[in-house]
Structures are given as structure tokens and as C-alpha cells.
Amino acid sequence: MQNILSLKDFRTKLTDYTKRVSEKGDSFVVFKKSKPVFMVVPIDHDGEWQTVLNFSEINPKGVTFKDIRKAAKELL
């Protein structure tokens, strides 16, 4: 069964719903004015993850926005 929430309820009880998603694996569809707006689902930790950008390869101490933009352009 799908859990349905109003946006107002989701905002006021965000911490509770976050725990339910992360600890119990619950998912929710959030509605605003009787229309679905977004869905909150747990992350599939068993799925395949891919590193898009590893900024520590550029500079382990941190990077500037200029460095980030340059790295992103190189991917395209």
C-alpha cells in the first residue's frame, strides 16, 4: 500500500518521515492541492553507483567553483 501525505504534513513531520524511510524502507507520495508533487523513496544501496566527478583527484584539500566547472566541461 502506498503512503500518501500532504505537503504540509510532510514538512511538519520531516524528521519522523526521514526515519521511516531510512530505517524501515517506507516510501511516500507527497500531494499538494490534491495533486502528486513528488515521491520519497529509500536509496537502493545494492544498486550500481557510478562516480561522476571525484573532486579529491583535483585537489584533496578542496576545489573552487572554477575547478568544478572546468571538470564538468571536460566530461561533456
For the chain, the average pLDDT equals 87
Residues 32 and 49 both lie in one domain:
no
CATH number at residue 15: 3.40.1620
The pLDDT tens digits of the residues spanning 30-64 come to 999 999 999 999 987 777 777 777 778 777 888 88
Q: Are residues 7 and 35 in the same domain?
A: yes
Give me the residue label for grid cell 511516500.
28
- Residue 1: per-residue pLDDT: 59
Torsion angle defined by CA atoms of residues 15, 16, 17 and 19, in that order, rounded to the nearest 10 degrees: 90
Q: Which residue bears the cell 501525505?
A: 5
Mean pLDDT within 15-21: 96
Burial of 12 (0-12, 13-18, 19+ CB in 10 A): exposed
Residue 19 has pLDDT above 90, yes or no: yes
Mean pLDDT of 10-38: 95
Domain count, the chain: 2
The rounded distance, in Å, linking the Cα atoms of 1 and 64 is 46
Domain that holds residue 25: 3-40
User: Same structural domain for residues 51 and 32?
Assistant: no
Whether the full predicted model's pTM is greater than 0.75, yes or no, is: no
Residues in Cβ contact with 25 at an 8 Å cutoff, skipping those fewer than 6 apart: 42
